A and B are shown apart, each in its own frame.
Chain A
Amino acid sequence: MAATGHEDRFRRLFADESRTRLTRLSEQLLTLEESPADAELLASLFREAHTLKGGAAVVGLPAVTRIAHGLEDVLDALRSGTVVTSDVVDVLLRAVDTLRELIAAGVEGREPSEDVQASEAALRALLDAPSPIPQDAPETPGESAQRQAGAPEAERRREDTVRVSLARLDELARLVTEAATAQLRVGALLARELGVQPDDLPEFRELGRVLDELQDRATRARMVPVSTIVEPLRRAVRDLSRALDKDVVWEARGADTEVDRAVLEHIADPLLQLVRNAVDHGVEPREERAAAGKARTGVVRLHAMRLGAEVVLAVSDDGRGIDAEKVAEAARRRGLDLSGRDDEELRYAIFTTGLSTAATVSDVSGRGVGLDVVRAALDRVRGRVEVRTEPGAGTEFRLIVPMTLSVLPCVLVQTQRQHYALPLHAVMSGVDIARSGESLEGREVLRVDGRHVGVSDLAQVLGLREHSNGSGPALVVGGLTRLHAFRVDAILGQRRVVVRGLGRLLPRVDFVAGASVEPDGRILIVLDPPGLIDAARRHQRVEVDARGEPGGERHRGAGARVLVVDDALTVRELQRSILERAGYQVTTAVDGEDALRLLNAEKWDLVLTDVEMPRLDGFGLVEAMRARPALAAVPVVILTSRASEDDRRRGLDAGADAYVEKSAFDAAALLSTVARLLRQGS
C-alpha cells in the first residue's frame, strides 16, 4: 500500500516520537530486570506499549500494531504476577528492536529486515509457557525512591521542550557571529570617522557584552546531555555479559553533563566499542576473578564530567588490564612491525586496526580490539584519548572532547606574511630554536622530552616557499601517537576562533580544517593537525628521495626535463606543481600526438602519461616511442585510473617502465617512482 504525501508526514512524526518512546521502553526493561517486582515500572511499561500500539494503528502500520499488542499482552501478564526473568526480558528487548526496524522500514517505504511472524510467536510463547512460582523480591526503599524521583523529572523535561532542527540552530549561531563582526566594524567606523575610541563608550561595551552572551547561548543551544546515548551502552553491557556468561554491572555517573550534539553523535559509536571491549576483553570470567581474589561481579562504568571547555567521558572496567607484552606479541603475530615506533606509539598500538590481545578473536565484540575507530572519530571532533591501565586491576579509557565545536581555542602563528591558526588542544609546546643541526635518516629532528621529533618549515609544507629560513620559533604539534614540530616566522598568541567550514565548492585540502573571519575582516585559515603532520611527513620523504642515496652521487633528479601528457587541464597542472616543487622542469602536452611532436623536437629525460586521450592514447604513445631509436630509451611512467591487470600488462608490454594508479594518487609515490627511473637511467 503506497503512502500518500499526507500519510507520509504523519508517519515521520510518529517515527520521531517513537524513537524516544522506544528508548524509554528499553531503559525501563533493563531496570525491570534489576527490580522485577516493581509495580509502578510495569504499569509505565504497559502504558508505553499501549500508546505505541495506538499511534501505529492511526498511521497505518499494522505490523507495528501487532507486535506492540503482543508486547502489551506480555506486560499485562507480568503485571498479574508472571515472573520477570532474564529470558523474558530478552524476548521483550528483541521485540523493541523489531519495532524499531519495522517503524524505520515503514517510513522509508521498504521491506523490513526483521521477521514479524517470529517476533509475534516469541511473544506469544511467553504467554503460553507455564509461569514459574513467583519469588518474592521486593525492591528496597532506596531503589523505589530513586526511581520515583527519576520519573517525574523526566515527565517535566518532556513537557517544556520544543524540537528544533540543527540547521536552524546553526543559522542562528551564524547570524550571531555576523552581528558580532558588524559591531566591530561599527567600532572601527567610530574610531575612523569620529575619532572616538569605541571602548570608551559604555553603550558600545554593553552591546559587545550582550553579543558575547548571545553567542554563548546560541552555541549552548546545540548541547544535549550525555544521557541521550547511555541506553545503548547499558543494553550492550547486559546483552554481552549474558552471551559471554559473565557477571557485569553497569554504572553511569554524570550523565547529565552536556555536550554539543554533533560531538556526541560522533563519539556514540566509539563509546559503544569501548564498552563492548570492556565486557569482552576486560572483565574476566567469574572463576578467574574469584581466583584472583576479586568480586565475582565485574563493573563497567561510564563517568562523564566537564573540565573547563572540555568534557571527559571515561569508560572503565575493573578487569584484567591491558598487557603490553601481549600487545607486542599480537602485533608480531599479525606481521605488524612495531619496532620503528616510539615508546609512546607502542603504548597506543592497540588503536591499530585488527590488533587484539585476546587469544581468540571473539565474534561477539567484532574483529579484535579495533580501536582505530575510536581514534578516527576523535580526530574528527578534535578530541583525544588517554589510556590508563593496571594489569590485574582494570583499564580506563578517557575520551576528551570539546564541549562545543563552533568555537575553538587556537594558537595563532604567522609565516610568509600570512596568519594561520592551530587548534590549541593539538599544540603540545612551543620551542624557540635555531636550526637544530640534528639529523636522523636525512631528516631534521628536534629532541623533545627525550624523543626525536621531525621538524618542518610550515611555509614549506604549505607550499608557500621553496626553502626554509632555518631558524625561528617552532610549535610541537601532535595527535594521539605522532608528534611533529613546525617552524614558523612568529607565534602571535592564543585566541578563541569561530571556525567555519569552507563549503562544498572547494576541493578538499587535507590539512585545512576551516577558516574564520578575524575582527578586522581578514580571513584566518585554521589548520588540521593530523592532516598537517601527514603532509609534513610526505614532504620530508620527497626531500629525502630528491637528495638521493645518503652520501651518494647527485643523480639527474634536479633540473631533469619531464614531459607530462594528459588531456585534462587540472590533472596536468596538479602534476606540474608536484614535479616542479621537487625540482624538475616540466612541460605539458594535451595528448599522444602533441607529446610525440614535442618529443621529436627536443630532448626529455622522462615522460609521464595518461592512457585515455584523444587522437593518440598512452599505449599508442609508448609504442611509437619505442619504435624510434632516439626515444626508445626514455623512461615512461603510465599514470592512469585504469587499474585492471590487463591494462597494466598491456602498458608494460608496450614498453612502459612503470604503471601508477591515479585512484590512489599519492604525490610521494609518484615522485619516488620518477626519481628511481631517472637514477637508473643516469
Chain B
Amino acid sequence: MESASEVVPDPQITPLPMTPPSVLGLFTLRGEIIPLFDTRVLLGLTATSSRPGGSLAGAQARLAVVVHTSEGRGALAANALPATAVLGDPTGPSESRGTAGTYDVDGRAVVLLDLGALLAGREPGAA
C-alpha cells in the first residue's frame, strides 16, 4: 500500500515509439509525465501486448494505478477498481516474475506484486 498512491480512470495515453510490448505509453498526472506499463505483459501472463494488432495507435487501459519505486513514479494498467485489504500470512508461493507470494482475501486467491522486481527488468537490446 505504501507504494501505490492513486488510481486514475481512463488515462489519456500517448504512445512511445519502439518500446517493448510491456510499455503502453505515457500519460500526465497534474503536469508530471508518468510511464504506463501493461501489467499482464510484465507478469508474463500474455505473449502479446494489449495493443490491438500490436500497433501503436489505440493503446488503452481502463485504469492506471500509480506506484512509487526507488527509480521514480510509474503506473500499472488495471481492469478493475482495486480494493484495499489487509494481508495475513501468505498461503503459498507465486510463480510469475515480479510477484511475492499468494494470499487469501475473503476467500479469493490474490497474488502480491513486488513492484521493484516487476518494474526493474531491463530489456536486452535497450541501454
Q: Residues on A close to B: CB < 8 A?
A: 177-178, 181-182, 416-418, 462-464, 500, 502-512, 515, 517, 521-523, 525, 535, 568-574, 577, 580, 588, 641, 662, 665
Contacts and interface: CB of A to CB of B under 8 A. Distances in A.
A641 B124 CA distance: 10
A572 B48 CA distance: 10
B108 interface: no
Given A505-B69, A588-B47, A417 B57 contact: yes
Chain B interface size range: 35 or more
Contacts of B33: 500, 502-503, 515, 517, 523
A182 B16 contact: no
A138 B33 CA distance: 63
Given A535-B18, A665-B125, 8 more contacts: A178-B30, A462-B18, A502-B33, A507-B20, A517-B28, A573-B20, A574-B123, A662-B125
B26 interface: yes
Contacts of B22: 570
Contacts of B44: 569
A569 B123 CA distance: 10
A177 B31 contact: yes
B126 interface: yes
Contacts of B18: 462-463, 509-511, 535
Given A417-B57, A503-B35, A504-B71, A574 B125 contact: yes
Given A178-B30, A517-B33, A507 B19 contact: yes
Interface string B57-96: 1000000000001011110000000000000000000000
Contacts of A500: 33
User: Which of A505, A512, A568, A574: most chain B Cβ within 10 A?
Assistant: A505
B124 A577 contact: no
B56 A464 contact: yes
User: Which of B30, B31, B69, B74: most chain A Cβ within 10 A?
Assistant: B31
Interface of B: 12, 14-23, 26-28, 30-33, 35, 41, 44, 47-49, 54, 56-57, 69, 71-74, 119, 121-127
A574 B124 contact: yes
B121 A570 contact: yes
Given A570-B20, A573-B20, A181 B31 contact: yes
Contact of A505 (B49, B56, B71, B127): B71
B35 A509 contact: no
User: Which of A503, A525, A570, A574: most chain B Cβ within 10 A?
Assistant: A570
15 contacts: A416-B57, A462-B18, A463-B17, A500-B33, A503-B72, A505-B72, A507-B122, A509-B17, A515-B33, A522-B12, A523-B14, A569-B44, A571-B125, A577-B21, A665-B124
B72 A504 contact: yes
A464 B59 CA distance: 13
Nearest to A181: B31
A507 B123 contact: yes
B30 to A, nearest CB: 7
Contact of B12 (A417, A521, A588): A521
B6 to A, nearest CB: 17
Contacts of B69: 505
B26 A515 contact: yes
